[in-house]
């Protein structure tokens, strides 16, 4: 069924431009494409069912996003092959009385009719509100916030850290709460979707047993762009997730499950030939781009996607967003949670790849902000998972890349950078501790502080701590807290300190989970290491 019907050719291209305003002319760059749907467009259903989002906060603007999908879970998503103009506006107030800038963007079928508008010309460090209109339909509205001017004096920055949102393992109650925090931005560390088969049961590490899934995507394991799109559509139909997107701009980066479990570089766990695996990576990368508010600079080129980038917030924070998947050497010692093998000392293994590592080292050495944040995916701190003689490591963390990690820590220490705070996900637990220089010497100097922030839903209800937590704490004295509940991190940065409030839920399997603060920590900008907040 053709959903976008140019039922009446009511407007010429020139009229369309005039009606959209001068700013739109710059934004549009209308191609001479016969697929452009002029005039009124009609939809078979509400086209903004996947919500809206903003992201990539810069001092003069941000990205606003939506995607036209009147039938999100049907093949074709209820859209035809037309290019569809979508009007947008950004206002200084939530009632849209004072519109700051507006225009018309084109939703292309090649991008699943996603719209990414790079809004510019705004004032730094203040909230704005945005919305879209297409045909007779108007989207929900969202709140975005511009970054404070880089280097300018800034008293306070508040942001949230979230990720790992397996749809089948829990509800998004944490996002419902996060949406009410009025943060300046959200850092999403990855695992926005989970690929794989949707099963009626999953394994809970807290219970060491299988538990029933509270809900299911009920979709096939994705390989094609359209299958990945369907998976994103299922996730994004969740209204708690939509509220969290509409509440603040997001800075997102992928981890593994946006493509497939524990992938790195050209390597998949099942030994798919790299050139074949790259086809799946390309499909997944495109769908990821289509559904998150990225800048055009992150538009994938085949399997490649530019995701490492830096954000600055006044004189308080430089945030280096790292991509620890795309350039990493294949996991040594056969991946998984296993004993470390001699390959962990292989000097040729890399986590960041040469170009990203140089970019990071230059940024850290030249940084002037009060705090340097490394916003990344897998745990940097060394961690022996079992007490006693056994040396069990998470071989998908930084642990088996000891030479690459030492190079990073030596760079931080050698340049006397004492304000590095690492923000991490992946573990589906809160794990807070000190990044020590030598993982074979628990008394070695503290180089940085790390907050591994728990999952939104992955792992299900959980509880205070897993059966192995006490042993892990005893074995790793640089780790100060382990907790296995769902939630998010709330971070407040001032000139005096960075404080982290770990918010957790009592349960996520049924609606109405209660939120509480599990622990608060503080970090001094002149002394690496975590303190009780």
Contact residues: Fe ion, CB under 5 A: 164, 191, 458
**Shortest Cβ 257–Fe ion spacing (Å):** 6
- The DSSP symbol for 141 reads P
Cα 38–chain centre separation: 35
- Give whichever of 356 and 458 is closer to Fe ion, judged by the CB atom: 458
Pairing of strands 156-162, 185-188: parallel
- Integer CA distances (angstroms), 158 to 144, 291, 464, 523, in order: 14, 25, 26, 15
Least Å distance, CB 195 to Fe ion, is 11
Of the candidates 268, 256, 254, the one whose C-alpha atom is nearest the C-alpha of residue 195 is 256
As measured in angstroms, the least distance from the Cβ of 427 to Fe ion is: 8
Q: In the Cβ-directed half-sphere of 291, how many Cα atoms lie within 13 Å?
A: 29
Residue nearer to Fe ion on the CB measure, 318 or 399: 399
d(CA 491, CA 500): 5
The H or E element containing residue 281 is helix 274-291
Nearer of residues 106 and 378 to Fe ion, judged by Cβ: 378
Residue keyed to tokens 């637990």: 429
**Shortest Å, Cβ 175 to Fe ion:** 15
Question: Which whole-number Å values give the CA distances from 339 to 23, 118, 122, 386, 438, in the listed order?
Answer: 59, 47, 53, 10, 18
Q: Least Å distance between CB 415 and Fe ion?
A: 32
Q: Which is nearer to Fe ion, 164 or 498 (CB)?
A: 164
Shortest CB 104 distance to Fe ion, Å? 38
Q: Which two tokens stand for residue 71?
A: 């039938």
Three-state DSSP state, 447 = strand
Contact 132, 87 (CB under 8 A): yes
Among residues 82 and 191, whose Cβ is nearest to Fe ion? 191
Whichever of 393 and 478 has its CB closer to Fe ion, that residue is 393
Q: Which is nearer to Fe ion, 262 or 356 (CB)?
A: 262
Q: Which two tokens stand for residue 242?
A: 């939509």
**CA angle in degrees (0–180, nearest 5) for 235-238-241:** 90
Q: How far is the CB of 255 from Fe ion (least distance, A)?
A: 6
Task: Give me the least distance between CB of 263 and Fe ion, in Å please.
Answer: 13
Among residues 147 and 380, whose Cβ is nearest to Fe ion? 380
């Amino acid at each position: 069924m053709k959903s976008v019907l140019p039922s009446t050719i009511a407007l010429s291209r020139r009229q369309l431009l005039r009606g959209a305003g001068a700013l739109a002319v710059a934004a549009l760059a209308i191609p001479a494409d016969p697929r452009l749907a002029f005039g009124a467009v009609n939809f078979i259903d509400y086209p903004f069912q996947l919500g809206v989002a903003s992201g990539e906060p810069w001092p003069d603007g941000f990205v606003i996003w939506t995607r036209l999908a009147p039938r999100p879970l049907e093949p074709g998503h209820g859209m035809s092959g037309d290019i569809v103009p979508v009007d947008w506006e950004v206002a200084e107030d939530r009632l849209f009385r004072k519109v700051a800038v507006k225009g018309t963007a084109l939703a292309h079928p090649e991008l699943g009719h996603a719209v990414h508008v790079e809004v510019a010309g705004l004032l730094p460090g203040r909230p704005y509100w945005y919305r879209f209109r297409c045909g007779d339909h108007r989207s929900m509205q969202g709140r975005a916030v511009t970054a404070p001017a880089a280097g300018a004096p800034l008293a306070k920055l508040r942001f949230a850290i979230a990720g790992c949102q397996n749809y089948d393992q829990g509800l998004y109650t944490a996002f419902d709460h996060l949406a009410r925090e009025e943060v300046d931005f959200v850092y999403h560390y990855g695992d926005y979707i989970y690929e794989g088969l949707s099963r009626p049961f999953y394994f809970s590490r807290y219970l060491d047993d299988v538990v029933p899934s509270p809900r299911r995507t009920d979709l096939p394991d994705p390989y094609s762009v359209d299958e990945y799109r369907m998976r994103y559509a299922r996730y994004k139909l969740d209204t708690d997730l939509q509220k969290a997107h509409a509440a603040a701009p997001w800075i997102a980066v992928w981890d593994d499950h946006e493509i497939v479990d524990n992938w790195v570089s050209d390597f998949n766990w099942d030994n798919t030939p790299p050139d074949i695996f790259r086809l799946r990576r390309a499909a997944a990368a495109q769908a990821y781009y289509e559904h998150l508010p990225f800048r055009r600079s992150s538009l994938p080129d085949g399997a490649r996607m530019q995701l490492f980038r830096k954000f600055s917030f006044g004189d308080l924070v430089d945030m280096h967003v790292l991509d620890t998947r795309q350039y990493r050497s294949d996991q040594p010692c056969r991946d998984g949670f296993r004993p470390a093998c001699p390959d962990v000392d292989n000097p040729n293994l890399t986590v960041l790849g040469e170009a990203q590592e140089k970019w990071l080292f230059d940024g850290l050495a030249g940084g002037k902000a009060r705090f340097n944040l490394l916003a990344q995916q897998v745990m940097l701190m060394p961690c022996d998972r079992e007490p006693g003689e056994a040396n069990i490591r998470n071989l998908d963390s930084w642990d088996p890349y000891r030479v690459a990690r030492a190079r990073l820590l030596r760079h931080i220490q050698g340049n006397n950078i004492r304000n590095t705070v690492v923000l991490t996900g992946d573990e589906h637990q809160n794990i807070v501790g000190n990044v020590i220089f030598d993982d074979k010497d628990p008394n070695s100097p503290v180089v940085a502080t790390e907050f591994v922030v728990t999952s939104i839903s992955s792992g299900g209800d959980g509880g205070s701590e897993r059966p192995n937590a006490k042993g892990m704490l005893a074995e790793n004295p640089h780790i100060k807290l382990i907790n296995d509940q769902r939630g998010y991190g709330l971070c407040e940065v001032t000139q005096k300190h960075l404080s982290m409030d770990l918010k957790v839920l009592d349960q996520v399997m049924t609606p109405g989970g209660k939120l509480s603060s599990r622990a608060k920590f503080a970090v001094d900008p002149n002394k690496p290491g975590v303190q009780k907040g």
